[in-house]
Structure 1
Amino acid sequence: MALVDLADWMDEFERPEKSLWYIKRLSANDTLANNAHQAGPYIPKSFLFRVFPQLDTSEVKNPDAHFDLYIDSHVDYRRVRAVYYNGKRYGDGTRDESRLTNFGGRTSALLDPESTGALAVFAFLLDDAGQANECHVWVSRHPTEEDLVEERIGPVEPGQLVVWEPGIGREMPSLLVPAPRTSCRLSSDEISPAWLEKFPSGEEIIRKAVELRSATGLNPDARLMRRRVCEFEVFQSIEEAYFLPRISAGFPSIEAFISQAHAILQSRKSRSGNSLELHARQIFIEEGLRSLQDFQHRPRIENGKIPDFLFPSKTAYEDADFPATRLRMLAAKTTCKDRWRQVLNEADRIPVKHLLTLQEGVSEGQFREMKEAGVQLVVPTGLHDSFPENVRPNLVSFEEFIGDIRLILL
């Protein structure tokens, strides 16, 4: 299919009260990248109960529902089974989980290990009773398609589960995964009045997250992951306080409405695009690395290239007498599927390109291609188990990367 088909596809299935979208980035546990026995995209039972209410029962053991699933991006069709293993509620076992089956193994784009990290959109079509009777899926094949989806619904990060209802919009993540509210959710009196007049920058939001989640007792990997969650909740609080009054006031024209919607999407994309590297920069400083001496953020080097981080500095990099073995670069990309190639030419003197990512796994083929191209993945330790078993020993934790930087500075 041509690229334009994705825009047409989204228009086709964006039907208020007739469809419900579920969006996520496929992890290695969703695909067959980990050789899991029960592979298949994870969809929480709270969502499946919503589109298949007949599954939410303890009167029948392991209730199921069959429906037609079309992977339109890859011209594939399956008769899929949604099943709720309710042994715990049924009083016969401990299982209390849902699963989709019958995808057809590696021949399905949803289970293909090479789809690990891809953005997948599930558009469930609903009947008059609000129950799903079929589902249409688009598995993004390259970054441009992902951008098209995120331009409409906002950024989707690894590990994030998004429900999007046409005509209403995006639902809060708490509706998908029940979890206790953290203190990072700001109350109205905790939000600076200046932020209600001018939306704060990414740096300001991250400073607030750092304030709420200090460095005490946490290694760099745990600190990074904990603060990312905190930052997102801070952002949501400010977004609601800033934009909701403007939305409630109404719009004098369609153009004004579109302009406001565009501003909201842009603020989300801006936060998502810069968040990881800003968190990394903060942690470098907390770990005793000095800016402009031990590391440099976004320096401009040969041919106008701008790597996210250069170690120890641009001055050292441009000094032909400074050993290349003591130079490092780090790119920060929340997802690395396809985008990892963007770092290959960012610093000519440095053969190994370190890439910090939060993507939940890559296929063995993807990892082999990265390694052959000289890309070394830097992944927080809490995400290592989402990678294929034989890939895990080759991953570098964020803490290990910082330790390597300390060694080259000696």
Structure 2
Amino acid sequence: MARAIERWELLQEWIDKSSSILIKKLSRNDCSWADDSSKHQNGFYVPAKIRMSGFFPEMFEKPSKPHIYEAEFYTKWPGVDGEVKLSSLKHFSNKGSEAHVTRVPKSEFSKLTPASLLVGGVLRVPEDGVIRYWFVVVDAGSEDAEIVETVFELGVDFECALFDPQQINKVESDESELLIEQIRVAIFTGCLPGFLKSVATLPRPEVLAMQAQEVFMREHGLDRLSPYHVDRPGDAIMKISRDIEFSIYKNYELRHRAADVVRILIEGGDDLVRSVVKGFPALNASFLSASQHRKTRAGRSFEQHISRLLNDGGLFFEEQFITGNRRPDFVLPSGLSLESDSRGNADTIILSAKTTLRERWKQLALEKFDCGLFLATVDDRVSSDAIDEMFDQRIFLVVPESLKTSKDTCYERKSNVLTFREFFDEEILRKRPSFLR
């Protein structure tokens, strides 16, 4: 099956052969047709800016229907065994500015996680003289999607854009050259042990979180990160955690991991081949550690950002309160209120924080807290069925403001999905003002 293929390896091969790259975050309208036989649509939408960019072939009006502009072109789908389609780009000038690419493989768009990615390109040298375009769909639930987002630096507000393959990671390349020179100088001057020691430890999650928060507050002229001083606190947290902090982390990570690899190779002696072969277990461990550390860092830092919102907002709360075998991320107003028999738990809130949900939200339901259950996340990939299951378990999701109304997510019409703004205004300020100091 197509999705058994390693998508990132496949993408690298085709990106290297392309002069221009298109990446589009798929909305529900782009792919819901593939799982609903009652819909006649077949294909994905193209925003006006992309339609007019020159990426796609020029469209011409149909003589019989002058309001319809159309272009036909061959597309290759490497993720579907290299299937070739005679696709069509259509623009109905009387219906809006978007265009629509039709005649695409249905299997590529079926059963996708929300906010999946469409990646395509224009080949520098057409295949068989006629095939100039290729497309691959990357499911948002896969690790390949994380790689695409990282390599192309897709921000939290990303929707659709064109990229020059020659410019990918240019900033990282410049920083890499600086690091290369620093390591060379350290080796030449005999100072390598000192340099390795200086980058041996990555900053703790709370340090990274604070650095990212300070950058955001400085850019927006804020002296605190209070949800009552920021118009869209959820979007602010998403920007800080997924863009600003990750950018800071990558700089630290590059220095740390590169230095670690240099250390492993140098310890193997002057024979580079022997150093690589003998040092492979250590190299492999270092790379596995890098992947695991990224995931762990993201979760811990997100909790730090939520804590900053609560603290700067002047709320009573307790972190990591242990009750029985349970340890919720945040209890509002306190752990004592959670265990109080006299007051009951009607006004107590459990606020859990998870950057990505998958099946982990079920743990909150299993812990059976008899109070308000809220789950804060910046995950734009939660399915409609999962949200409905949470509703049945009396769990409310708290999401960034832009994700609630986004066409790429399943949040908009769900009654148990609140924005951060709604959580702090309605659940705290209006319903539970006693939570404020």
Which range, TM-score by smaller chain? 0.5 to 0.7
Secondary structure at 1:322 match in 2:
coil
* 2:112 equivalent to 1:115: yes
**Kept after mapping to 1: 8 A contact 2:384/2:410:** yes
Other-structure match for 1:184: none
Which of 386, 396, 408 does residue 418 from structure 2 map onto?
396
Deviation at 1:313? Answer: 2.5
- Do the aligned residues in 2 keep the contact of 1:68 with 1:80 (CA within 8 Å)? no
Tell me the alpha carbon deviations over residues 4-41 of structure 1, each in whole angstroms, 9 at most, x when there is no partner.
x84878778876987899999755465439x9x89738
2:373 touches 2:395 (CA, 8 Å); kept in 1? yes
Choose from 260, 264, 278 the match for 2:290: 264
**Pair 1:115–1:59, CA change in 2 (3 A):** closer
Q: Which amino acid aligns with 1:282?
A: R
Q: Does 2:256 correspond to 1:242? A: yes
Q: Kindly provide the CA deviation profile for residues 325-356 of structure 1, in whole angstroms up to 9, marking residues without a partner as x.
A: 11211222233354433432234323x53122
Alignment correspondent of 2:350: 329
Residue 206 of structure 1: CA displacement?
1.0
Contact residue 162 and residue 173 of structure 1 kept, 8 A: no
Structure 2 CA distance for partners of 1:353 and 1:40, relative to 1, 3 Å: farther
State the TM-score, normalized to the length of structure 2: 0.60
Alignment partner of 1:276 out of 284, 298, 302: 302
User: Structure 1 pair 384/78, CA: closer, same or farther in 2 (3 Å)?
Assistant: farther
RMSD: 5.4
Task: Give distance in 2, aligned partners of 1:117 and 1:44.
Answer: 22
Identity of aligned residues (%): 19
Q: Does 1:201 align with 2:201?
A: no
Count of residues in Structure 1 that have an aligned counterpart in Structure 2: 360
Residues 339-348 or 129-138, more deviating: 129-138
Unaligned stretches of 5+ residues in structure 2: 34-38, 62-68, 173-181, 183-194, 224-228, 266-274
Mark the CA change 1:203 to 1:7 in structure 2 (over 3 Å): closer, same or farther.
farther
Change (3 A) 1:158 1:307: farther
Q: 1:335–1:62: structure 2 CA closer, same or farther, 3 Å change rule?
A: farther
**Aligned equivalent of 2:74:** 66
Q: How far does the alpha carbon of each residue in 1:294-334 deviate from its partner, in whole angstroms, 9 at most, with x for none?
A: 222233333x2332222222232223333221121122223
Q: With structure 1 as the length reference, what TM-score do the two structures score?
A: 0.64
Q: Which one of the candidate residues 327, 341, 351 is aligned to 2:362?
A: 341
- Deviates most, 5-14 or 361-370: 5-14
Q: Partner of 2:320 in structure 1?
A: 298
1:211 maps to which residue? Answer: 214
Q: Which residue matches 2:432?
A: 408
Which residue number in structure 2 is paired with residue 182 of structure 1? none
Q: In the TM superposition, what whole-angstrom CA distance separates every residue of 1:169-221 from its partner, at most 9, and x where no partner exists?
A: x954989xxxxxxxxxxxx9xxxx99734211211111111222224552323
Q: Distance in 2 between matches of 1:346 and 1:115?
A: 30
Q: CA distance change for structure 1 residues 79 and 248 in 2, over 3 Å: closer, same or farther?
A: farther
Go from structure 1 to structure 2 and tell me whether the alpha carbon gap of 1:17 and 1:393 turns closer, same or farther (over 3 Å shift).
closer
Highest CA radius of gyration, 1 or 2?
Answer: 2
For 1:334 and 1:42, how far apart are their aligned partners in 2?
29
Among 225, 237, 249, the residue aligned to 2:238: 225
- How much has 1:243 moved relative to structure 2? 3.4
